[in-house]
Structure 1
C-alpha cells in the first residue's frame, strides 16, 4: 500500500524523501504538537492583547486631561498628545505584526502536516461530505490552507479588535490635538476638527487592516494581485 502510493506523492513533492518510516512518523507527531501549541498561543495572545489594548485605550482616554495638565509645566500639551498618539500607533502596528507571524507559523505547520500525511500514504480523497478539503482535517494539498482565508474568519478577528481600539484612541487624541491646533491658528471653521479626526481614524483603521493583510501574503500573491482581484470581484 505504501509503495503504491509513493509515486503519487513524489510527483507532487519531488524534493522530499525519507529513509525510515518511524522517523517520518515521529516528525508527524512533533509537527502536530507544534501546530496545537501555535494555535493555543494565537488564541491566548489574541485574548490578552485585546484586554491590554482596551485597558490602555481606556486609561489613555480617561486620564488624558490629567496627564497633559501634570506635564504642562515641562512638556507642551500638544507634544504630550502626540506622544500618546504615537504610542497607540506603534502598539497597533507591533501587535498586528505579531499576530501575522503567529498565523504564518500555524499555517506552515499545517502544511507540513499535510505533506507528511501524504508521504506516509494517507489521503482523504476528493469527496468532502465528511471532511472539508480546505481545512487541515481533510486537506490533501498544502496550499489548501491559506495564510489569510478571509475577512470573515477567525484570522481577521485580532485585526478588527486591535485596529478598532487603536483607531478609537487615534480619534479622540487626534480630535483633541486638532482642536487645539485649530484654535491656536484660527483655521477656517469649514475644516472642523471632528470631521478630520473621523477621517484620520477611519484611514488609520483601513491602513492597519491593509498592513495585516499584506503581512499575510502567500508565496504566489502580491499587492497588485490583491488589488486586481478586488476590482474584478467588485466590477
Structure 2
C-alpha cells in the first residue's frame, strides 16, 4: 500500500517548492534572520548597559539615606518608587530579550526547514558543522529557544537581574511597610530579610525568562517530568518537542496511506485501557491491580494506561529498572494529557507502539503480519492489538481465549469474527511470524466458541 519513503519525504512532507519559489522564500528568511539578529544584538547591548545604571541609582539612594542628605519622610517613598520601577523595567527587558531570541530562533528554523525541503542536509558533517547551530542543523527542533542558563543569550538577563537584586538588597530595609516593617521583626535581622528579598527577586526573574522561552508544548507538567526523570535516573529523549512532532506526523502518515483507525481503536480501548476516557493519564485501578500482583509474584506487569504506554514508547530513553520507569511514566502521562487531546493520544499510541521486534505502528504491523489483507477488519484489529502486549511473539492461547470471550460478550466481535481470527492465527504460525510452543492450536480456541 505504500512505497518506502525517505526521512525528508516523511518528516518534511508538504513542503515542496519550485526552485524559484524555494529560493525566494530562502532569501526572504535570510533577510528576516539578519534583521532579527540585529534586533537581538540591540536588545542584549541595551540591557547590558542599563543594568549597571539601575544599580548605580539604587546605590546612590542608599548613600543618601546613610548620609541623611534627604528628608526621612521623603526618601522611603522615593525608594519604594525606585524599586517598583526597577523591577517593572527588568520584567519588560527580560521579555524583550526573550522575544528577540524567539524571533531569531523561529527565523533560523524556517531556514533549516527550507534547506531540508530543497534537499540540503549536513548530517555526516555534524562534527565540523554542529547540529545545534544554524550552520549545520538538519533538524529545526535542534535549534532550541532556550539554549541554557550559561549561554551568551542569557548573559544580559542575568546581568540585569544581578544588578537589580543588588539594588533591592541595598534599599529593601528602607521600604515603609507599616506595622510589618522589617525593623520591627524581632527574630529576623533586617539585612537577612533584604538578602532574601533580593534572592527571591533573582529567582522570580529567572523563572520569567525561562517561561518566556518555553516551547509550544513545554509547560510545568513537562518540567516536573524532567525533575522526576533526573531524580529517578531514567532519562528522557534528548529532544522531547521533536519526538512529539514526529509522533504527530505518524498520524498523518497512517492517514496518507489509508490505514483506518476507526475499527482498531475500540479494540485498543477494550484490551489495553477501558477507562481511557475517564482518567487523566493514570488508571489508578490498573496501578493498584499491578501493585497487588507485584506483591504476590514480585513481578511488575500491566497496569499502564494507554497514555503511559504512549509516553514510554516516544519519550523515554531508558526503560529499566521498571519501578523507577513507572514513576517517570506517571509524570509524562500528566504532561501528555495537558497538551494533547484523548483522540491525539490514542492515535499517536497506535501509530508509534511496538507490535513486533522492529515493527512500530499499527499501519506497519498490518503490512508485516497481513501483507495479503488489504483492509483492517475486526479480526485483524484484534490480532494487532493482542500483539501489543506480547513482546516475545508467542501464541498465548489462554490469554487470547479470555480476550475473545470478553470481546464477544461486549458485542465487539461475533462468532464468525472469532473463526476468522483462528484462520489468521494459523497463517501467522505457519509463516513463523508467531511461535506456538504449546499443544493448544487456534482451532481449539475456535472450537470452544462453536460449542457455546
TM-score between the two structures when normalised by the length of structure 2 = 0.46
Alpha-carbon distance, 1:191 to partner: 1.3
Q: Are the aligned partners of 1:182 and 1:193 in contact in 2 as well (CA < 8 Å)?
A: no
Q: Are the aligned partners of 1:96 and 1:159 in contact in 2 as well (CA < 8 Å)?
A: yes
Matches within 5 A, 1:151-162: 151-162=149-160
Report how many aligned residue pairs link the two structures: 227
Higher helix fraction: Structure 1 or Structure 2? 1
Q: Indicate how the Cα distance of structure 1 residues 8 and 224 shifts in structure 2: closer, same or farther if over 3 A, else same.
A: closer
1:227 alignment counterpart:
224
* Equivalent position to 1:114, from 112, 115, 126: 112
Q: Indicate how the Cα distance of structure 1 residues 136 and 185 shifts in structure 2: closer, same or farther if over 3 A, else same.
A: closer
How many Å separate the matches in 2 of 1:86 and 1:26?
48
Question: Is it true that 1:39 corresponds to 2:37 in the alignment?
Answer: yes
Matches within 5 A, 1:153-232: 153-177=151-175, 187-232=184-229
Q: Are the aligned partners of 1:214 and 1:223 in contact in 2 as well (CA < 8 Å)?
A: no
Structure 1: unaligned runs, 5 residues or longer: 1-5
Matches within 5 A, 1:127-166: 127-166=125-164
Alpha-carbon distance, 1:40 to partner: 2.6
Mean CA deviation greater in 95-104 or 58-67: 58-67
1:11 alignment counterpart:
10
Mean CA deviation greater in 158-167 or 8-17: 8-17
Structure 2: unaligned runs, 5 residues or longer: 233-452
Q: Are the aligned partners of 1:60 and 1:84 in contact in 2 as well (CA < 8 Å)?
A: yes
Q: Are the aligned partners of 1:96 and 1:212 in contact in 2 as well (CA < 8 Å)?
A: yes
Mean CA deviation greater in 57-66 or 77-86: 57-66
Q: Indicate how the Cα distance of structure 1 residues 33 and 167 shifts in structure 2: closer, same or farther if over 3 A, else same.
A: same
1:56 alignment counterpart:
54
1:83 alignment counterpart:
81
Alpha-carbon distance, 1:118 to partner: 0.9
Q: Are the aligned partners of 1:34 and 1:109 in contact in 2 as well (CA < 8 Å)?
A: yes
CA deviations on 1:38-68 (whole Å, 9 max, x unpaired) are 2232123212221122113202321456599
How many Å separate the matches in 2 of 1:122 and 1:186?
66
Q: Indicate how the Cα distance of structure 1 residues 134 and 184 shifts in structure 2: closer, same or farther if over 3 A, else same.
A: closer
How many Å separate the matches in 2 of 1:76 and 1:233?
51
Superposed CA RMSD = 2.9
Q: Are the aligned partners of 2:83 and 2:168 in contact in 1 as well (CA < 8 Å)?
A: yes
Q: Secondary structure at the match of 1:23?
A: helix
How many Å separate the matches in 2 of 1:57 and 1:186?
23
Q: Indicate how the Cα distance of structure 1 residues 59 and 185 shifts in structure 2: closer, same or farther if over 3 A, else same.
A: closer
Q: Secondary structure at the match of 1:154?
A: coil
Alpha-carbon distance, 1:182 to partner: 7.9
CA deviations on 1:73-104 (whole Å, 9 max, x unpaired) are 9x744322211110011011000000110000
* Equivalent position to 2:96, from 72, 95, 98: 98
CA deviations on 1:93-139 (whole Å, 9 max, x unpaired) are 00000011000001000000000101112111244221111211111
How many Å separate the matches in 1 of 2:131 and 2:51?
36
Mean CA deviation greater in 108-117 or 21-30: 21-30
How many Å separate the matches in 2 of 1:132 and 1:185?
52
Q: Are the aligned partners of 1:88 and 1:170 in contact in 2 as well (CA < 8 Å)?
A: no
How many Å separate the matches in 1 of 2:13 and 2:189?
63
Q: Secondary structure at the match of 1:190?
A: coil
